[in-house]
Amino acid sequence: MSSSKRIFGLDLMRTIAIMMVLGAHILSIYPHSSGSITQLFSFFGFWGVELFFVLSGFLVGSILYNAYLKEDFTIGSVFYFLKRRWYRTLPNYFLILILNIIIASAIGISIADVGCYFLFLQNFSTTMKPFFTESWSLSVEEFTYLLMPFALFLGSLFGKPNNKSKRFILVLLCLIVFFIFNKVGYNFTTINTSLNQWNLSLKAVVVYRIDAILIGMAFAWISFNYSEFWLQQKLNLLFVGVVLLLFMFVGVGFFGILIEKYPFFWNVLYLPMTSVTFALFLPVLSQWETVLNWVLKPVTFISLISYSIYLLHYGIVLQLLKYFFDTDSFSINQLHFFTIGYLVITFCVSYWFYKYYEKPILNWRDRPVDN
């Protein structure tokens, strides 16, 4: 696995994100646990996915922005961009989806509306369906990467812009505002708001979450157009990010900003603020290019296989292990050994999946094409 042309800070962000997601699902192995550590791990699933959204937006937004500036952005440009994204995401997703369906059928789990999953509609405008639940974030990503290039293309139909960079950010900001207003609509049409309802019917629904990735794209635009600011203010932006992080995940509880009392804050402001908070770490992380080899190697390794881990760790590995082992009867030490075994199996299977399936597909996508 070559680490050439990789940026350590961004690999670190991806590694932290996937480890947080793993940590959150480990909680299901210890169903009766409580305390501050348990509460922290319960947040990890949320934090990890939000980190993925911002990082994906930043990286893919950079690719899309450069493509938009360098050429006439035709319908051919749109489909070239989508083809490369789909080679990156769809083969893994569809194979794991089919495996989930086979396993669920074999162990007697019924699946409703399975066809929705093949079109990423399982959580498009309604609550996530109770199968392959970790796929909700992939629906958000796929629709974002479908929407943004088509929006840029449609914008070009109104005439060739004098400044393509300004056109890019204008389209991006219009979309961000649109999806924030979707949350405003949700806020004024939803009653009896609770955190559980918020988690299921807002946080994990495509039409309310696309702005999370778009915010990452907006920060990519800033990094190109205000590079001096990006370089010089990285520590100040990091400090602001840390302060906001403390407020979002400590201060909100300390000051009693509960969803029952302040639904507008939670329904409209909380998620975009979370995206901006994590995006403020990007100036430092995007410039952190390398580190000592003993740190670099494991971080690069986990980053490379993170997509495979995300798809395999819960619906395939953990659910199968829990099907064959009755963890409810385990002692605490047995649960610890079970957790270690689960992590080892997850990393091994994910590595094999990456090496023998994901990476060959990416290599084929990137192969030189003879003219």
- Taking residues 63-88, report their average pLDDT: 93
Identify the pLDDT of residue 284: 98
User: Does 315 fall in a domain?
Assistant: yes
Identify the pLDDT of residue 99: 96
Residues 86, 364: Cα–Cα separation, whole Å: 13
Which letter does DSSP use for residue 129 in this model?
A: P
Model confidence over 142-201: pLDDT tens digits?
A: 999 999 999 999 988 877 778 999 999 999 999 999 999 999 999 999 887 888 899 999
User: Does 371 fall in a domain?
Assistant: no
Model confidence over 322-346: pLDDT tens digits?
A: 999 999 899 999 999 999 999 999 9
Tokens of 249: 């995940």
Tokens of 349: 């299977």
Give residue 370's pLDDT band: very low, low, confident or very high (50, 70, 90): low
Phi, psi of 331, rounded to the nearest 5 degrees: -75, 170
User: Does 370 fall in a domain?
Assistant: no
User: Does 204 fall in a domain?
Assistant: yes
CB 215 within 8 A of CB 137: no
Which letter does DSSP use for residue 128 in this model?
A: P
Residues 358, 350: Cα–Cα separation, whole Å: 10
Look at the alpha carbons of 230, 231, 234, 236 in this order and tell me if their dihedral is positive or negative.
negative
For 216, residues 6+ apart whose C-beta sits below 8 A from its C-beta are: 53, 54, 55, 56, 57, 58, 59, 61, 275, 279, 282
- Taking residues 342-370, report their average pLDDT: 94
> 340 to each of 26, 305, 344, how far by Cα in Å?
10, 18, 6
Indicate whether 80 pLDDT > 70: yes
- Domain of residue 110, residue span: 8-365
Tokens of 63: 């690719």
Model confidence over 196-255: pLDDT tens digits?
A: 899 999 999 999 999 999 999 999 999 999 999 999 999 999 999 999 999 988 888 888
User: Does 45 fall in a domain?
Assistant: yes
User: Does 248 fall in a domain?
Assistant: yes
Identify the pLDDT of residue 2: 43
Indicate whether 120 pLDDT > 90: yes
User: Does 3 fall in a domain?
Assistant: no
- Angle, CA of 318, 323 and 328, to the nearest 5°: 90
Q: Euclidean distance between the first and final Cα of the chain, in Å?
A: 29
Q: What is the mean pLDDT of the chain?
A: 93
Per cent of the chain over pLDDT 70 is 98
For 63, residues 6+ apart whose C-beta sits below 8 A from its C-beta are: 81
Tokens of 234: 């990285």
CA-wise closest residue to 183 among 196, 195, 201 = 201
H-type helices in 27-163, by residue range?
36-70, 75-106, 115-118, 136-156
Residues 289, 52: Cα–Cα separation, whole Å: 19
Model confidence over 252-274: pLDDT tens digits?
A: 888 899 999 999 999 999 999 99
Query: Cβ-count burial of 240 within 10 angstroms (0-12 exposed, 13-18 middle, 19+ buried)?
Result: middle
Task: Count the alpha carbons within 13 Å of 2 in the hemisphere toward its beta carbon.
Answer: 4
User: Does 122 fall in a domain?
Assistant: yes
Identify the pLDDT of residue 319: 92
CB 183 within 8 A of CB 208: yes
Count how many domains the chain has: 1
What pTM was computed for the model? 0.95
Residue that is written with structure tokens 């082992």 in the block: 325
